[in-house]
Structure 1
């Protein structure tokens, strides 16, 4: 998988983390129907590896599935076996190294300039700026892009529609959105409400790409 190209094309990573595995799977289906097909399944959700495996079987290449919250080598290996096409980490560590060794592209969590340098040295494909909103949102992203103009930043953490619009305008290649997009759908909540939110975020991305 070419993660760099996927991020540039889709500009939105939906982060699914739920307490109900069946609801999480249904949520991925709704996202796909609404054209949001770059999806991260967080390993901190209930039976996340099972959800990943089932989603991989059901959707195949129609949905680009990644494993999120990959912390350890064992988690990277398990995610790879379950069908993850890429790994997303909250920081640098064994999960990054193991995913790279498996040939999985990595969206690695960073916050500081020192971490950006370390992530680039590790050969990751893109940088998950986390927690983005709490660190200063688009203003902090703009400041980081000064010394790292060619880095592919994906702000994650507290990204709502307004913050997403600002971060994309400030040069983010994409944004990662969990709660403000998925809401409680992956816990068994309303799928029609998820569909409405998906359309709203899809419109934000379209505006930013116009």
Structure 2
């Protein structure tokens, strides 16, 4: 479904972080928002997901207005967030994470384990026993099992070694080819260009002009089945 954001202002307490944000991510499209720390990237995805309340403006997924809805209602409408820092539960096993996240739909546990085979080898491992790359894969799996129409990714390669970041990018690139609408926020342009077809800069809560770039992704589906995060 198409994500349409119009005139959104949002922030914390008495401060405003997002200043009249307008953005469209077409159905099945992938767009990256680039910006430095403090630019408002996390505030943007948190506002879409309902974790931060928009003070004004409209956020629509298809024909459904999301602005003003509580986070659990937005999730039910088809929005899934892969948060910055993974945030998996330390005491739960991989299998328990997957079971708790599962809803009926096209994304099933067997399909997830086909996409992310390393998780299949770690089903009995707890969250605090996973590597950074494994925890990121689990965070993505958890989001997919909610059957999203829109996937929000908050710096999914942050803190990962170069090879692990490349494997995460390969997974995200594969997801964009499934027709899922994806909004990625990133600091590093190379991560964004590898998996999205359009880029936009965010600075001081204000978006620039969306630009398109060629298909620079060389980490396609061939790299997925052998991913070993």
Tell me the TM-score normalised to structure 1 length. 0.38
Larger radius of gyration: 2
Instruction: Determine which structure has greater relative contact order: mean sequence separation of CA pairs < 8 Å that are 6+ residues apart, divided by chain length.
Output: 2
Tell me the TM-score normalised to structure 2 length. 0.36
Higher strand share: 2
